[in-house]
Amino acid sequence: MSRSSLSLVLGAILVLGAALPASAQTLHVDKKNGFQVVPPKGWTKVPIKVEERWIAAKWLSDKKYDDKESGFSHQPMMKVMIFDRSKIQPGGGSTDSAGGAKEQEGPKVGDKIDLTAPYLDYKDYLKRNFNEGGWFVSAEDATKMGSTPVTMIEVKVEKLTYTGKKRLLAWVFTADWGDLAIEVDSLEQSFDKLRPIILGAYKTFKLIPRDPTLAGEDPGIDVGGGIRFVDPNETAEQRKKRRQAAEEAMFKKAVSDLPSEWSSKRSANFLVLNHANPKFQEKVLAHAEAVRAWLDANFGDVGDDYVQKMIIRICKNRDEEMAFRKGSGDAFSIDSREAIVSENKDGTSQFEFEYLGQSIMRMWFHDKNADLYDAMPQWLERGLSQYIGTAVLKGGRLDFSPDTYETERIREGRRMSKFSPVRDLFQMTGKDLWSGENARYLDAQIASVFRYVYGPGRANRKLSTLIKDYITQLLAVVQENEKAARAEVKAEGAKTEEEEEEEFKKRRKQDWSAKEKEFLKQVSEKVFGGWTDGDWAGLQKGWEAFAK
Amino acid sequence: MTIPFLRRIPAALTLACGLAGTAGADAIQFKDGRSYEVSKIVEGEGGYRLIYGAGEVFVKKELVSLVLMSDASGNFVPKTDEERANLDKGLVPWKGKWVAKAERDKQAAKEADEAKKAMEEARKHQEWRDRYIDETAHFRFEYTIPKEKCKEYQVLMETYFTEFTKKWGIRVDPKQKKLLVCFYHDQEYYYQVSGAPRGAIGYFRFVEPIELNFYYDRNDERLTLDVMFHETNHYLTHLINTKFHYPPWVNESLAEYYGASEWDPVKKKMSIGHIQEGRLVNLIDAVKADEMQGLEEMIKMEQFDALMYAWGWSFVHFLMEHKKYSAPFQKFYLALAQDKNVSRQPHFAEFMKVGGDEQIRVLKQYLGLKDLKGLEKEWHEYVKGLKLTSHRGYEEAAQWADRWGMKIKAGRFYRTAIAEGTKNPQTFDNFGEWLQRDGNPAEAVDMHRKAIELDPMNAYYYLHLGQAMESAGDKEGGEAMKKLALELEPNDPWLAFQAKNTIIRAK
């Protein structure tokens, strides 16, 4: 669109704008952020991430458009973004406990150094968020709607855009307190078809007075990057309180931000936000609680910490999930515990359950024992996550049978002799596992070994507690190494370039891979020190028979 | 548009034009295209003083292409009887002559108006929608850098095209479209418009629409040249056979070999075969750790990381600079894409490739070798004999040594880079920080001042200068520099954090 056509569009609006009454049926009024708009007919409101600070509302088109050039299809999205001028300075809006800004003077426990760089305006937001191809502002025009200054911005997305060339059309309304930008993205090929729909909605956009009472209390969610000062001697009980507060804040905000078509439900360990079939929700919730119960039963004693309750967000389909996931780059929080799944009618739901189970497992271990989570070898993490991920809830119990993919890889791997001795598997680093051409077979082998150990292998006394024993010893090694590191006297430092080079050579030999190997060796010696060759042969034979 | 020459508005002059007295009307444009609005600019000895609330920024005239000063003082103070007499007659000084005040005001207003228009024109062309578009014999240039700077690259790239196609015997299809070259005025804008992923500092797109993208690095033009030579080489070798995909050890390594080329803008000549010092630093690292790269293993690799770029470059450099191997290697290079006896296999889309074993067979055939073991040994010995020769290599080596905790070596390399004449402000800033850590804040202050002299608008340099001044005992001066840094870059949280002005919130 040329500058002149933008002006023409605006001319039409200036005439029509005053006469157009807001359509009562779909008028969206946001008193908190000071705007109202009628979204295009049939477009669905998409929830906003709990951690989001810039996007106030978004709607997903009811139609998909095909791009003939790239072969991809695209579902346009309309969103409203808020750029409050009072927040554009670094750390803006952040205060100390007395409610005022202060200079840094020896941080205390609970303080946070806010290192986020707030978005200055719509263009700055695009620069730091848009990642679907190279883009530039192709047209820009400033005018007024009534007394409100409006900047109309058109953006073309042309280079390295694998999903089709696109165009964004944004109008930025300037209020006395900041900017509000409304934007729609469209395939270049379908832009002309969409333009009347987009403009129809833009015509209805209007600034209204902000109601500060609706902003409510600051939910206290720790969002974006920064440095948080935590008490190094914090007890498990203190951590529990901190996590419970974060959990409550997250839950509260998630529910309050939910579009009216969504429902919410709390269970013992989860808050479910649902836009899918209620039956699917019940299936998801039952599965989640079963996985959580399995983790509590099998690993409940690996740590003392409180495992934070999670949000499970169920979108009605993959498109809605993708639209939900598109948010601002700083919309994240270390306190977040959320898994997003969608109901799909194309037979891919099992992948949703796999993702759900694995997410629950990772967050569970992260909370239960951070040392364990950080030190978990890849074979152990991958084995457990595959074992839990592929579990299916049948008759109220989790069935841990392998999925088709694993069964096929095991068959192929056996035929092509791609497996490693089980004894070696337990000492493999990430590089050993994933860098070679046998990676996918080793991946399947790990899962299969876990199924054996947790299945028929339980009959063997040594195997019945193997994974738990391994974790216990792993934690012991972590503690020993930490103690040794604290006791180590720092070398005085090189005095000459030759000495520096010698130290450099030593450090190079002690890279992460070498350290990982050494760590695995230490743990293995503790766990398998008492094992005989016969024990290993028994495990190898038992697994091979099981995997046939 | 031509980039305006430096318009110097005499200090002893008050502009009676519309700019006078307008807050924020002063502006400065650098030769690299950057421009800034400043509340007040005053001409000083050898440059301009940009007046900020927290202090002044001094910009040398050699960095400036255009300046607008709304409040150049017209209160000329006579020092001699002759000057006093001229003033009494209603005359004022103007470009070395005494002219009537009204005439001077008219001329000054006209010049200011022209300068303003020129600056607006230059700013406008930094938007991709208003980019410049020029065509040369073999390229179509679309760019946002100053026009005169791009002209230098247009001459260079045409020379490169002619010399390369001649040396390598490439016959260009007369129907071959001109290559689209997209050249951006800075790194951020390059990433935004080109869509390149972070870390990819230039790219040649070899499928339709075929194009080349890179940016102008104002602090390190050598890097700009390097990237241009490298990426253009991909295009030139693409012309050998547009349906063939060279393996990385050949493709990236020859591009790196040409990436180190040098250009004499006066004689309009390019020279090849120079040391790719940035890559050599990586090799020094590997050689010291006795981690030599196997030749056959490298040939069979389908992906190349930064270290492999270094090994690949060194191998091609070794071959290209070797009397015996140079000509046969060039024939081998062409043969991979053209020789009917080379076995090729489908790669992706319509592209063909040659497998690792076949590459080795053809390489041995063209170099007249039975196996590659001897060649590998020669290559390794060659690498061990390569030495850093310029400030560019030393500054990269200094950073590398600093990263690996070799403090003494890093200090020596920084000093050598400076002694060898580096003009990279980042090197001075890095060395200043090194000196600070080494407990030498006085010398650190000198280094940071030098960095500022070369790039006076970099807020971090003022921050580091402020920190060094404080360490050297000048608390007040240091604090002023940190405040100036914050004024230059008010929205950078890291800068704010380091300037100890970060807001903390209690949970």
- Tell me the angle at which helices B326-338 and B248-259 cross, rounded to the nearest 10 degrees: 130
| A53 contacts A257 by C-beta, under 8 angstroms | no
Query: B406 and A111: CB-CB below 8 Å?
Result: no
Query: A501 and B288: CB-CB below 8 Å?
Result: yes
Measured distance CA(A90)–CA(A117) in Å, rounded: 6
ipTM here: 0.84
> Closest approach of chain B CAs to the CA of A95, in angstroms?
5
Using CB atoms, pick whichever of B288, B408, B491 lies closest to residue A494.
Answer: B408
* CA B233 to each of CA A485, B160, B411: distance values in angstroms, whole numbers, following the listed order: 51, 9, 36
Q: Which CATH number fits domain B125-239: 3.90.1580.10, 3.20.20.70, 3.40.50.300, 3.40.30.160?
A: 3.40.30.160
**Closest residue, chain B, to A228 (C-alpha):** B507
Tens digit of pLDDT for each residue in B433-457?
Answer: 999 999 999 999 999 999 999 999 9
Mean pLDDT across chain B: 88
For residue B170, give both structure tokens: 């490439």
Strand order in the sheet with A35-37: A28-30, A35-37, A206-207
| Cβ neighbours of A111 in B, within 8 Å | 504-507
> Closest approach of chain B CAs to the CA of A509, in angstroms?
8
Q: Is A245 on the interface with B (CB under 8 A)?
A: no
Using CB atoms, pick whichever of B289, B497, B501 lies closest to residue A115.
Answer: B497
> Closest approach of chain A CAs to the CA of B13, in angstroms?
36
| B288 contacts B406 by C-beta, under 8 angstroms | no
Measured distance CA(B268)–CA(B272) in Å, rounded: 14
Instruction: Find the helix or strand (DSSP H, E) in which A113 lies.
Output: strand A111-114
How many other C-beta atoms are found inside a 10 Å radius of the C-beta of residue A27?
14
Q: Is B193 on the interface with A (CB under 8 A)?
A: yes
| A441 contacts A419 by C-beta, under 8 angstroms | yes
- Direct distance between the N- and C-terminal alpha carbons of chain B, in angstroms, rounded to an integer: 56
Q: Is A70 on the interface with B (CB under 8 A)?
A: no
For residue B267, give both structure tokens: 């004689």
The Cβ-side half-sphere exposure at B406, using a 13 Å CA radius, reads 26
pLDDT of residue B498: 86
| Cβ neighbours of B408 in A, within 8 Å | 494, 496-497, 500
Q: What's the gap between Cα B155 and its chain centre?
A: 18
For residue A444, give both structure tokens: 């399947």
pLDDT of residue B366: 97
pLDDT of residue B73: 43
pLDDT of residue A179: 97
Q: What's the gap between Cα B320 and its chain centre?
A: 27
Burial of B131 (0-12, 13-18, 19+ CB in 10 A): buried
Tens digit of pLDDT for each residue in A456-475?
Answer: 999 999 999 999 999 999 99
Mutate to test the interface with A, among B130, B211, B507 (most CBs of A within 10 A): B507
Using CB atoms, pick whichever of A114, A133, A134 lies closest to residue B505.
Answer: A114
* pLDDT category of residue B75 using cuts at 50, 70 and 90: low
Give all domains of chain A, ordered by start, each with its CATH number: 3-92+113-215 (3.40.1000.10), 217-228+236-368 (3.40.30), 397-487+507-548 (no CATH)
Q: Which of residues 68-127 of B touch A (CB under 8 A)?
A: 127
* pLDDT category of residue A273 using cuts at 50, 70 and 90: very high
Q: What is the mean pLDDT of residues A160-165?
A: 93
Using CB atoms, pick whichever of B193, B405, B493 lies closest to residue A90.
Answer: B493
Residue corresponding to tokens 């194009």: B211
pLDDT of residue A276: 96
| Cβ neighbours of A137 in B, within 8 Å | 127-129
Which of A263, A295, A308, A257 minimizes the C-alpha distance to A282?
A263
The answer, yes or no, to whether residue B24 has pLDDT greater than 50, is no
Percentage of chain A modeled with pLDDT above 70: 89
* Bridge partners, B122 (sequence order): none
**Closest residue, chain B, to A111 (C-alpha):** B506
Which of B170, B168, B235, B181 minimizes the C-alpha distance to B207?
B235
pLDDT of residue A547: 93
pLDDT of residue A476: 95
**Phi, psi (deg, nearest 5) at residue B91:** -95, 155
**Closest residue, chain A, to B209 (C-alpha):** A159
| A201 contacts A40 by C-beta, under 8 angstroms | yes
Q: What is the mean pLDDT of residues A136-149?
A: 95
pLDDT of residue B408: 93
**Phi, psi (deg, nearest 5) at residue A338:** -135, 135
| B198 contacts A329 by C-beta, under 8 angstroms | no
Q: Is A22 on the interface with B (CB under 8 A)?
A: no
Measured distance CA(B349)–CA(B206) in Å, rounded: 12
Q: Is A257 on the interface with B (CB under 8 A)?
A: no
**Phi, psi (deg, nearest 5) at residue B20:** -55, 130
Measured distance CA(B465)–CA(B220) in Å, rounded: 21
Tens digit of pLDDT for each residue in A311-347?
Answer: 999 999 999 999 999 999 989 888 899 999 999 887 7
Q: What's the gap between Cα B480 and its chain centre?
A: 30
pLDDT of residue A6: 45
Which of A179, A183, A247 minimizes the C-alpha distance to A207?
A179
Buried b or exposed e, range A109-129, using 16+ CB within 10 angstroms? eebbbbbbbbbbbbbebbbeb
A72-81, A442-451, B284-293: segment of lowest average pLDDT: B284-293
Query: What letter represents residue A77's amino acid?
Result: M
Q: Which of residues 123-162 of B touch A (CB under 8 A)?
A: 127-129
Tens digit of pLDDT for each residue in B347-382?
Answer: 988 899 999 999 999 999 999 999 999 999 999 999
Q: What is the mean pLDDT of residues A276-304?
A: 96
3-state secondary structure of B350: coil
For residue A543, give both structure tokens: 């697994």
| Cβ neighbours of B407 in A, within 8 Å | 493-494, 500
H helix intervals, B260-351: 277-288, 295-300, 306-320, 326-338
Measured distance CA(B47)–CA(B64) in Å, rounded: 9
3-state secondary structure of B278: helix
Q: What is the mean pLDDT of residues A260-282?
A: 97
For residues A539 and A98, the model is more confident at A539
Query: A500 and B409: CB-CB below 8 Å?
Result: yes
Residue corresponding to tokens 């095209």: B161
pLDDT of residue A219: 65
Query: A504 and B127: CB-CB below 8 Å?
Result: no
Measured distance CA(A500)–CA(A506) in Å, rounded: 10
| B184 contacts B213 by C-beta, under 8 angstroms | yes
Measured distance CA(B42)–CA(B12) in Å, rounded: 11
> Closest approach of chain A CAs to the CA of B240, in angstroms?
25
Query: What letter represents residue B141's amino acid?
Result: F
For residues A92 and A407, the model is more confident at A407
The answer, yes or no, to whether residue B23 has pLDDT greater than 90, is no
3-state secondary structure of B103: helix
How many other C-beta atoms are found inside a 10 Å radius of the C-beta of residue B81?
8
* Bridge partners, A264 (sequence order): A273
* CA A303 to each of CA A372, A376, A476, B129, B452: distance values in angstroms, whole numbers, following the listed order: 9, 14, 12, 59, 54
Q: What is the mean pLDDT of residues A84-97?
A: 58
The answer, yes or no, to whether residue B273 has pLDDT greater than 50, is yes
Q: Is B210 on the interface with A (CB under 8 A)?
A: no
A177-181, A428-432, B79-83, B233-237: segment of lowest average pLDDT: B79-83
Mutate to test the interface with B, among A70, A136, A242 (most CBs of B within 10 A): A136
For residue B47, give both structure tokens: 């440059």
For residue A416, give both structure tokens: 């092509």
How does DSSP assign B170-195, residue by residue? PPPPTTPPPEEEEEESSHHHHHHHH-
The answer, yes or no, to whether residue A14 has pLDDT greater than 70, is no
For residues A139 and A6, the model is more confident at A139
The answer, yes or no, to whether residue B418 has pLDDT greater than 60, is yes
pLDDT of residue B25: 64
Query: B497 and A113: CB-CB below 8 Å?
Result: yes
pLDDT of residue A1: 41
Tens digit of pLDDT for each residue in B300-347?
Answer: 988 788 889 999 999 999 999 999 999 999 999 999 999 999 999 999
Query: B129 and A508: CB-CB below 8 Å?
Result: no
H helix intervals, A257-348: 278-299, 318-325
| B446 contacts B428 by C-beta, under 8 angstroms | no
**Closest residue, chain B, to A118 (C-alpha):** B491
pLDDT of residue A377: 95
Q: Is B440 on the interface with A (CB under 8 A)?
A: no
Mean pLDDT across chain A: 88
Measured distance CA(B88)–CA(A286) in Å, rounded: 98
| A249 contacts A221 by C-beta, under 8 angstroms | yes
| Cβ neighbours of B491 in A, within 8 Å | 88-90, 117-118, 120
Q: Which of residues 113-172 of A touch B (CB under 8 A)?
A: 113-118, 120, 127, 133-139, 159-161
Query: B505 and A500: CB-CB below 8 Å?
Result: no
* Bridge partners, A45 (sequence order): A59
Tens digit of pLDDT for each residue in B182-229?
Answer: 999 999 999 999 999 998 999 999 999 999 999 999 888 999 999 999
Measured distance CA(B147)–CA(B293) in Å, rounded: 44
Q: Which CATH number fits domain B423-498: 1.10.10.10, 3.40.50.1260, 1.25.40.10, 3.40.50.2000?
A: 1.25.40.10
Q: Which of residues 466-525 of A touch B (CB under 8 A)?
A: 493-494, 496-497, 500-501, 503-505, 507-509
**Phi, psi (deg, nearest 5) at residue A126:** -60, -45
The answer, yes or no, to whether residue B390 has pLDDT greater than 80, is yes
How many other C-beta atoms are found inside a 10 Å radius of the C-beta of residue A314?
26
pLDDT of residue B175: 86
